[in-house]
Structures are given as C-alpha cells and as structure tokens.
Amino acid sequence: MSDLLKRFTGWDVAVIAVLVLFVVVASATVDNFASARNLSFLVLDLAPVLLIALPMTLIIVTGEIDLSVASTLGLSSAVMGALWDGGMSIELIVVVCLVLGAVLGAVNGLFVTVFGLPSLAVTIGTLALYRGLALVVLGDAAVAQFPGTWTGWVIGGNAGIPNIVWPLLLLLVVFGVVLHATPFGRSLFVMGANKEAARFGGIRVARTTFWLYVVCGVVSALAGILWTLRYSSARADNGSGLELAVVAAVLLGGVSIFGGRGTLWGVLGGVTLLAALQNALRLADVSNEALTVVTGLLLIISVLAPNAVGAIRSAASRRRPPGGAATSPAPPDPPAPASSPPVQSDPSSSPAVRSS
Amino acid sequence: MSAPSSTHEQGHRAPASRVALALRARELGIVIALVALVAVTAVVNPRFLSAQSLRDLVLGAAILIVLAVGQTVVIITRNIDLSVGSVLGLSAYAVGSLLQANPGLPIVAAVLVGLAFGAVLGLVNGALVRFGNVPALVVTLGTLYVYRGVAFFWAGGQQINADELPRGFLGFGTATVLGVPWLLVIAVVVVLATGYFLRNQRSGRELYAMGSDPAAARLVGIPVGRRTLAAFTFSGALAGLAGVLFAARFGTIDAAAGNGYELNVVAAAVVGGVAVFGGSGTVYGAAIGALLLTTIGSALPVLGIDQFWQQAIVGALILLAIGTDKAVAARVAARLRKESSRV
C-alpha cells in the first residue's frame, strides 16, 4: 500500500498536475485553446515526439540514450520520398521504411552491445550518419503528392477525435504495459539501476539493449512516415533537431538520465505539457523564442527539483530520530543524494524478476 | 596517506608512458588521415593548395578549433557541454551590438568582453552541474535552449550587418600577421596553452583523474566541484571567444549564429581521440579533429563528391574513431594486465 502511495507521489505526478493546471488556465485565458480544432492540431503536433518518446523512455530507463532518432525519422522520410518518386506502391514503401528503421536501430544496437561503445557517442555518430544518408538520398529536394487517402487519414478525424489518436493510444498502452506490468519491464529498471547486478541476476543485458534500439528505430521510422504524410512532404531535413525535444520531454516527465527510474505516464505528461505550452503560447501570439527559453528552464527545473526534494527529505529524515540511530547512517554517501530513489526501488524489482 | 600514494606513483609511471604512447599513435592516425586527404585533393585539383583556399580553410577551422579545445577540457572531466553553439551565438550578438554602439572600441576590448560574457554563461552551466547535482548532458541541453532563446529575444528578428560593424574589427577577421591569419594565431595559442596546462600543471592532471574515476579523485583530495566549475567556465569563455571570432569572420550576425555547432564540436573532439566518458584525450587531437572535419567540408566539392555526403562521412568518421579507440584501449588494457601479472 505504501509502495503504491510512493509510486504516485513522484515528480511524474507533479508534472501531470502542472499539466492539468496549465490546461485549465489556458482554456480559460487563451482564446480558441480548448476548441476541438485546436486540440486536434495539438495532438498532431505532439504525435511524433510522443511516439519516439515511448521507446526512448525504455532506453533511458536502462541507462542508455539514443540521439539518432530524429535522423532516423529524416532518413525514413527521405527514403519514402525517393521510393514514391520512383513509383513504388505506398503500402510497400511503408513496409520498406519500417524495415529500414529496424536496420538503423540494429546498427546502433550492434555498436552499443557487441562493440561495447558508449551509446551517447555511438548515437551522436549515427545522428550525423543517418541525417547525412538522408541528404544523399534526397538532397535538398522535396517530394509531395502522396496519396490523398493516406494524408487525409493522418490529419483527419472522426467525431472530433483525430484518427492519429488511436495508433498513439495503442502504442502508449503497449509500451506502458510492457514497462510497468511485465517482468521484462522490471528488468529494464534493474539494468538501469545496476547493469552488473542485472547481469548476475540473469538478465540478458546485451540482448535486451539491442532489441530496444531496434524497436526505437522502427518507431522513429514510423514517426517519419506519419510526419511525411501529415505535411505531405518528404524532405531530408524533416524532424531535424527533434532528438533534443524528445529527450527534453522524457526527462521533464521524471525519467532519470542515469537510468533506473521513471514512468511512462510521467513522460506522457511531459510530452503533453511541452506541446500544450507551445500551442498556447503560439495562440497567445507569444514568440517561439519564449518557448525555447521555457523548454530549457523546464528541463533544468525538472532535474533540479527532484534532487532538491530528495536532499530536503533526506535531511528531514536524518533530523528525525527513528529508534536511536539518528545521525550515524547518513555519512557514508553524502555526494549522491539524488541516487537514493532508484536504490529504493531496486530491491522491490529484482525479486520480481528472479521469481519469474 | 603518503605511503600508498608513493607506491601508486611507482606502479603507475611505466604504464602511463605506454598509454601516452598509444595516445600519441592515436593522434598520428588522424594526422595521416588529414595528410592523405589533402594530398589526394591536391592531386585532383592543385588549386586546393592555393594560398586563398588554404586561408579560407584555416579561417573556418580556427573557430571550430577554439570550441573543440573548450569541449575537450569539459569532456576530459567526464562531462559534456552541449551549449557551446548557443553561447557562441549569444556572445557574438553581444559583442556585435556592443561594437555597433561603440565603433571606437579596440579589438582587444571586444575579445575580452566576448571571453568574459562566455565565461559567465559557462559558469552558470558549471554551477548547475556542481550545486544542482545534475548531469552535464541535461544541464547543457537545457541551457542550449535557454541561451539560444535569450539570443532570439535580444535580437528580436534583427541581424547585425557587416556595414554596421567597425571596419577595423572586420579586417581583424581576415588580417594576417607574417602571412598567418590572426584567427589561426589565436586558435594555435589557445591549443598550445591549454595543452601545456593539461599536461604539465597539477590542476590539469587532476582533470584527467576526475574523468577516470570521479569517486577516487574525490577521495585523494581533488576539489572535484571546483574543478568542474572551472572546466565549464573555461569552455564557456572559449565559446565566447569563438563568438567574437565568428563575428569578425562573417560580419553578419543573427540570433541563429552557431546553431547546431555543438554536434560538430563534439564530433571534432571524438574524432580527435577524446573519450566521451572522460579521462583521456588531448586538445591537440581535438584540434586536428576539427581541422580534419573542416578539410573534409572543403575537399568534397574539389573532389567532385556531392556536398550532401559530408555529414554522412562525418558520422562514419565518428563511429570509426570511437571504434578504433575502443580497440586501442582494449589492447593497452590487455598489455597492462600482462605487465602487472609478470610483476
């Protein structure tokens, strides 16, 4: 019970509370914010970030990162354009692009697991490589005129609900269940908390990491397809810089960059909060620059605040004498107050993995 | 305290020189790549080695080199500074508007203002990392946005044009001393001074120790927090300096100046053999890496290769570089293990 309670009093819940508050205030003060038309735009705007944020959350939870996602999106868009220009059928193109995404993800995964290279460096490399290949494929050309039924479906809706909500919801539920309700999901948290322990606990760390990158590649390619269809324009620079927005949204949602901690509903809150902010500021005629500053500040606050709360909480528990041992247990690890929450969640997760 | 540290020293000296040797070989590798690239390009089109084209090349490289040096110092401490492009843009705009208002300002003053401005921005990064206990990747990702946004606010859609800047300042962007462009002289001085500091000064060595093992560094009494603060301030100051060089070189400055540079800078350092997880690499390597990336950019059109290939080649180079470093490190580690088992 207290475990459940703890689960719902973290930063992720704070983000969702801020989001709700923001939506209420914005609906009341910003004209047209709450209109159905605007909300469907909002959903379309947040779709690519949310899509990529799903596998990105899993990857960051294991303590790795993938900065190549936006380049994968761009390459998939460029290939889509080139193939459509070459006369291939759209159904086949979609399949080719998804397979391409899997391959690009697998390349990342290979470098990270088989060669044992740091994922940050590898994906900075593939960030440049994949975007470069997108430029090679399509240059600075743009391909338009995708079939109207497809582009119409992506931007269309039924009874006020945009069509794109359904695949998003489906993936959200799938990723949510996998991360929070399966032994596999628990094992991701264990990997993030302590890779060595995870390995000794019988988790196939390398294999899991590899497949996470493959999934991330596929989802990024899917985001590329949706992006292309939404704007009906395939360009090599589509989604350029989106990786930073995705990482920012995931961290804003309370996922620890060190791994081992985070929830998907927090990420959903983070992604939606950023998109809603952007949308409301735009409607209120506040310049895009304001949003850049706000995004950056939110990101910094989102990592500072839990640390500050943790420091205050640990200071408070040190002052309170729980059965005599008041001050003695504190000294051993003062340098890392931030890392105590994942350690707390660790013992609860590893038995679950072992028992399965 | 003294006894264990002395045995540590003795046990460490021989392998350290071997590691240094491996690293030197690492830099030799990039030099060979650079020379080969220049040679092939020059054979295809001798005009590639003309004074004019060489000068354009080094002017472009100088800015990247200055940024890469600052980045290297931060990466060595196992941190990263993604905000350098934004710091460059903000300080270029600051210096530009200062010169716009006071055309009589000496160039030295402009350079100092840029340095100081960048240092303050870097100090903010460092303070957040140190006191906020937040990973540098996140902090500098945040300040990347914040600084860029502030630049946009400040500029408000305006840009500073070359004709609004003092003639002397723009001349400085292309002027030479004994045939060498000033920008290159500044870059070389920055590289040599930083390289000397990192290699020969106690606090410089401590940066490597921090990067190798932050916890151990703290235990042996290295003021890790203060050094982190200093590294970020230094990187910010150099990004500010790069902003001044950028303003002098290009003349037109808008709020987007230096947008996306962070990728090139990190790429230059990584290609130059600076390990992303700290503890190894030199500013010389990073500088040659920056030179190599710039040379690729200007060699491709000469070689008749589509310019669209440039970014893909940079990406492949990064992967090749970290792969090579990993292989070298594995071999060195194996040799060290053999060494210590023999003893």
- B329 neighbourhood in chain A, CB within 8 Å: none
Which of A15-24, A104-113, B292-301 has the highest average model confidence (pLDDT)? Answer: A104-113
Nearest to B173 by CA among B260, B99, B63: B63
Of A80-94, A95-109, A307-321, least confident by mean pLDDT is A307-321
Whole-number percent of chain B with pLDDT over 70: 92
To the nearest whole Å, the CA of B313 is away from the closest chain A CA by 7
Residue of B nearest to A336 (CA): B133
Residues 34 to 63 of B: which have CB under 8 A from any A CB? none
Residue of A nearest to B225 (CA): A335
Interface test with A, best of B145, B224, B266, B296 (most A CBs within 10 A): B145
**Contact flag B145-A293 (C-beta cutoff 8 Å):** yes
To the nearest whole Å, the CA of B195 is away from the closest chain A CA by 23
Indicate the pLDDT class of residue A149, thresholds 50, 70 and 90: confident
Q: List, for residues B96-131, the tens digit of each pLDDT value.
A: 888 888 877 888 888 999 999 999 999 999 999 988
Query: What value does the mean pLDDT take over residues A174-181?
Result: 94
pLDDT exceeds cutoff 60 at A128:
yes
Residue A7 has a pLDDT of: 53
**Closest by Cβ to B309, choosing from A127, A130, A136:** A136
Nearest to A124 by CA among A244, A238, A254, A261: A244
Query: What value does the mean pLDDT take over residues A331-350?
Result: 39
To the nearest whole Å, the CA of B179 is away from the closest chain A CA by 35
3-state SS, one letter per residue, for chain B: CHHHHHHHHHHHHHHHHHHHHHHHHHHHHHHHHHHHHHHHHHHHCHHHHCHHHHHHHHHHHHHHHHHHHHHHHHHHCCCCCCCHHHHHHHHHHHHHHHHHHCCCCCHHHHHHHHHHHHHHHHHHHHHHHHHHCCCHHHHHHHHHHHHHHHHHHHHCCCCECHHHCCHHHHHHHHCEECCEEHHHHHHHHHHHHHHHHHHHCHHHHHHHHHHHCHHHHHHCCCCHHHHHHHHHHHHHHHHHHHHHHHHHHHCCECCCCCCCHHHHHHHHHHHCCCCCCCCCCCHHHHHHHHHHHHHHHHHHHHHCCCCCHHHHHHHHHHHHHHHHHHHHHHHHHHHHHHHHHHC
Indicate the pLDDT class of residue B8, thresholds 50, 70 and 90: very low
Residues 126 to 165 of A: which have CB under 8 A from any B CB? 126-133, 135-136, 139-140
Residue A322 has a pLDDT of: 53
Query: What value does the mean pLDDT take over residues A62-89?
Result: 93
Of A177-186, A281-290, A311-320, B152-161, least confident by mean pLDDT is A311-320
Query: What value does the mean pLDDT take over residues B24-50?
Result: 82
Residue A344 has a pLDDT of: 38
To the nearest whole Å, the CA of A153 is away from the closest chain B CA by 33
Report yes or no: A56 and A247 within 8 Å, Cβ to Cβ: yes
To the nearest whole Å, the CA of A13 is away from the closest chain B CA by 20
Residue B15 has a pLDDT of: 53
Q: Cβ–Cβ contacts within 10 Å for residue A6, how many?
A: 13
Q: Is some CB atom of chain A closer than 8 A to the CB atom of B136?
A: no
**Closest by Cβ to B315, choosing from A129, A236, A300:** A129
Q: Is some CB atom of chain B closer than 8 A to the CB atom of A195?
A: no
**Closest by Cβ to A124, choosing from B148, B263, B308:** B263
Interface test with A, best of B93, B121, B146 (most A CBs within 10 A): B146
pLDDT exceeds cutoff 60 at A132:
yes
Indicate the pLDDT class of residue A168, thresholds 50, 70 and 90: very high
Q: What is the DSSP letter of A118?
A: -
Residue B239 has a pLDDT of: 95
Indicate the pLDDT class of residue A353, thresholds 50, 70 and 90: very low
Residue A37 has a pLDDT of: 83
Residue B172 has a pLDDT of: 77
**Contact flag A336-B323 (C-beta cutoff 8 Å):** no
Residue A220 has a pLDDT of: 97
Residue of A nearest to B310 (CA): A132
Indicate the pLDDT class of residue A77, thresholds 50, 70 and 90: very high
**Closest by Cβ to B312, choosing from A136, A304, A307:** A136
Judged by DSSP in three states, A143 sits in strand
**Number of A–B residue contacts, CB under 8 Å:** 149
Residue A1 has a pLDDT of: 45
pLDDT exceeds cutoff 60 at A341:
no
Tell me, what amino acid is at A43?
Answer: V
pLDDT exceeds cutoff 50 at A82:
yes
To the nearest whole Å, the CA of B8 is away from the closest chain A CA by 25
- A136 neighbourhood in chain B, CB within 8 Å: 306, 308-309, 312
Residues 309 to 328 of B: which have CB under 8 A from any A CB? 309-316, 318-319, 322-323, 326
**Contact flag A128-B263 (C-beta cutoff 8 Å):** yes
Residue of A nearest to B307 (CA): A136
More confident residue, A50 or A320: A50
Q: N- to C-terminal Cα distance for chain B? A: 24
pLDDT exceeds cutoff 70 at B66:
yes
Q: Is some CB atom of chain A closer than 8 A to the CB atom of B305?
A: no
Residue B23 has a pLDDT of: 55
Query: What value does the mean pLDDT take over residues A206-219?
Result: 96
Residue A258 has a pLDDT of: 84
Report yes or no: A206 and A355 within 8 Å, Cβ to Cβ: no
**Closest by Cβ to B134, choosing from A121, A132, A303:** A303
Q: How far apart are CA A244 and CA A296, in angstroms?
A: 10
pLDDT exceeds cutoff 80 at B300:
yes
pLDDT exceeds cutoff 60 at B4:
no
**Contact flag A248-B141 (C-beta cutoff 8 Å):** yes
Query: What value does the mean pLDDT take over residues A119-142?
Result: 90
Q: Is some CB atom of chain A closer than 8 A to the CB atom of B135?
A: yes
Residue A61 has a pLDDT of: 95
**Contact flag A117-B323 (C-beta cutoff 8 Å):** yes
CA distances from B95 to A11, A21, B45, B66, B116 (A): 40, 41, 39, 17, 11
Q: How far apart are CA A44 and CA B257, in angstroms?
A: 30
ipTM: 0.79
Residue B273 has a pLDDT of: 84
Which of A47-51, A314-318, B38-42 has the highest average model confidence (pLDDT)? Answer: A47-51
- A116 neighbourhood in chain B, CB within 8 Å: 326
Which of A81-95, A139-153, A338-352, B275-289 has the highest average model confidence (pLDDT)? Answer: A81-95
Q: List, for residues A247-287, the tens digit of each pLDDT value.
A: 888 988 888 888 888 899 999 999 999 889 888 888 887 77
Indicate the pLDDT class of residue B9, thresholds 50, 70 and 90: very low
Q: Specify the length of chain A in residues.
A: 356
pLDDT exceeds cutoff 70 at A2:
no
Of A149-163, A331-345, B3-17, least confident by mean pLDDT is A331-345
**Contact flag B312-A132 (C-beta cutoff 8 Å):** yes
- A247 neighbourhood in chain B, CB within 8 Å: 141
- B142 neighbourhood in chain A, CB within 8 Å: 248, 296-297, 299-300
- A289 neighbourhood in chain B, CB within 8 Å: 149, 152-153, 255
Interface test with B, best of A300, A307, A309, A333 (most B CBs within 10 A): A300
pLDDT exceeds cutoff 70 at B28:
yes
Residue of A nearest to B320 (CA): A125
**Contact flag B322-A122 (C-beta cutoff 8 Å):** yes
pLDDT exceeds cutoff 50 at B7:
no
